[in-house]
Amino acid sequence: MYYGLVFLVLFALTIGEIKAFPKNLKESRVPRVRVKRRFTEKNAMDYLRDFDYLPRWMEIGYGAPDGNKSKVKVTEAIKLQTFGYFQQRAALPQTGQLDAETMTEMSRSRCGNPDPRDPSKTLNALGRTVAKWDRSEVTYSILNSTDDLPRATIKKAIGDAFQLWSNVIPLNFREVDENGDIKFSFKVRSHGDGNPFDGRGNVLAHASHPAKEPLSAYTHFDDDEWWTNKDGEEIEKGNTDFFHTAIHEIGHNLGLDHLNEKKSIMHEITKPDNLVDRYGRYIEPRLHHADIEAVQKIYGNRTRATVTVTGTLNPENGTKTVTCPTRVDAVFADAGITFIFMGNETFEINAKRKILKKIPIPSLFPDGPKVNFTVVLDHITKKLLVFEHGGDIHAYYYSRLFHGYRKAYTISSPFWRPLSGAFSLNSGATFLLDTDRQVAVYSVLIGSSSPFMPVHSNFPTNVRGSIRATDDDSKHFLFTPTRVYLYNGKQEVVEKEWALDEWLSCK
């Protein structure tokens, strides 16, 4: 009887332990903070070989070009040159030495794909033939998921990441259950592709370039990482943002290598500072102009509808075909002309909503940003303000002498938060919108803004800018990336809405 009671007690305790055991091992790793590893010169040399700064056969022998597995001593001169090139890519002082700043940069989390050796190459810095998809629709499959995120979150993040790239190139992407052109999966350690993961920290994911049938391209995410999605608080704790990582790896799936521009999506290292503002809020990633230029060199621009413009634009036949914009990145109006920005181009539109011409942005804004900015015409100073995302504020004025905009000055931006758009009223108020549906009044004269406050619930989401619809400033056309709204500011209601191509009479 005694032993029976003891057995029952022990059995109950055992069941309790089993129930208390975490559903997966990640739940038992507390706290969720990334642990910094001690970095040595050996780690640095391994890093330089792993990411193609040094040939892998140096001092190791395997893969030597003479076929004899010969070893070549990594001399101090080679170290000086190699560390110097890494420091150049990382925008560090080029000492050629493994100093503290260099070790810190090498210990950051990054993509597992190699870095370019030759920055002079334009299309493909690794010197290989550029791979690209030879069809207009590319399919993808999500083979598994991680315990860190719901599968629905993973599906949406990957779909949204594809959409960012699809906005700027003539490729469409569609998810299929299996056998997609690109396959996404979570892996750990050695997983059969000859490129093992290293556990939590350092390498987050890696991806292949476009493949020819019957092969598929792939993206592998390291499941030893702590994955989060668009959560500033978790990112500040050291966890990895899935959305940003997916955008980057899809860039490789499209044929891109790492870019030597630290603010670009395709730079190999992502700093948490680029994803979280000083308030701890998530900063929605956007393609940098370097990302857009690189992918458009492979696939060209995305165009959709065309319109025929008649008049005096072409002296030979009086007509000119101009593509319609398929989205709005920024917009403003001046002297009866509306300027819509898409990618690195500007569309000039008259009062009848007809496209007059299309010009490169640098032709309109000399010495200014090429893409990724918010623009607004300040009616008090008559200055055109260009807010570079994550950068400076450029002020332009219209010059009758040069028949165009000339830069007046550039100042550092006082904003830590990402801007979605801006608009200005004839009364003189210039409003800035952030990505969290908050608005502030900006003063050009003092170079700062009021506190950001929530906008009215009827105000459309993701507004890029506006132009006046009535002379009394009571109504405006509000532009989101793909739609236009007639907004009554006095009644705070949307009176009408159009698809962008409908508003432009492009259909």
Token reading at 331: 């917009």
Q: Is residue 386 within 8 Å of residue 373, measured between CB atoms? A: yes
Round to whole Å and give the CA distance between 111 and 122: 21
**Is 111 annotated as ligand-binding?**
yes
Structure tokens at 274: 């680029």
Spatial separation of the C-alpha atoms in residues 476 and 469, rounded to whole Å: 5
> Is 249 a residue of the active site?
yes
Three-state DSSP class for residue 345 = strand
Nearest residue to 268 (alpha-carbon basis) of 53, 45, 83, 100: 53
- As beta bridge partners, residue 349 has 338, 355
With 0-12 CB in 10 A as exposed, 13-18 as middle and 19+ as buried, what is 21? exposed
324 annotated as ligand-binding: no
User: Using H for helix, E for strand and C for coil, what is the string for 415-445?
Assistant: CCCCEEEEEECCCCCEEEEECCCEEEEEECC
Residue 258 is assigned to a ligand binding site: yes
Return the structure tokens found at 46: 């391994």
**Any binding-site annotation on 118?**
no
Provide the token pair at 307.
């319109």
Tell me how long the chain is. Answer: 507
206 is in an annotated binding site: yes
Please tell me whether 198 is known to bind a ligand. yes
Alpha carbon distance 451, 408 (integer Å): 27
H-assigned helices in 329-448: 361-364
Q: Which of 459, 444, 334 is nearest to 399 (CA)?
A: 334
Q: Which residues of 174-185 are buried (b: 16+ CB within 10 A; e: fewer)?
A: eeeeeebbbbbb
27 is in an annotated binding site: no
What single-letter DSSP state applies at residue 282? B
- Per DSSP, the three-state class of 459 is coil
User: Is 266:294 a contact under the CB 8 Å cutoff?
Assistant: yes
Q: Rounded CA gap, 295 and 400, in Å?
A: 37
257 labeled binding residue: no
Opening angle at CA 388, ends 498 and 458, nearest 5: 35
Is 248 annotated as a binding-site member? Answer: yes
Q: Is 244 annotated as a binding residue?
A: no
CA 168/CA 175 separation, integer angstroms: 19
193 is in an annotated binding site: yes
The phi, psi pair for 290, rounded to 5°, reads -65, -40
Catalytic residue of the set 234, 249, 268, 345: 249
Tokens of residue 118, six digits: 């030759």
3-class secondary structure, 355: strand
Residues in Cβ contact with 150 at an 8 Å cutoff, skipping those fewer than 6 apart = none
389 assigned ligand-binding residue: no
Say if residues 495 and 477 touch (Cβ distance below 8 Å). Answer: no
Annotated binding site for Ca(2+): 148, 181, 198-199, 222-223, 225, 329
The set of catalytic residues is 249
Annotated binding site for Zn(2+): 111, 191, 193, 206, 220, 248, 252, 258, 266
Annotated binding site: 111, 148, 181, 191, 193, 198-199, 206, 220, 222-223, 225, 248, 252, 258, 266, 329
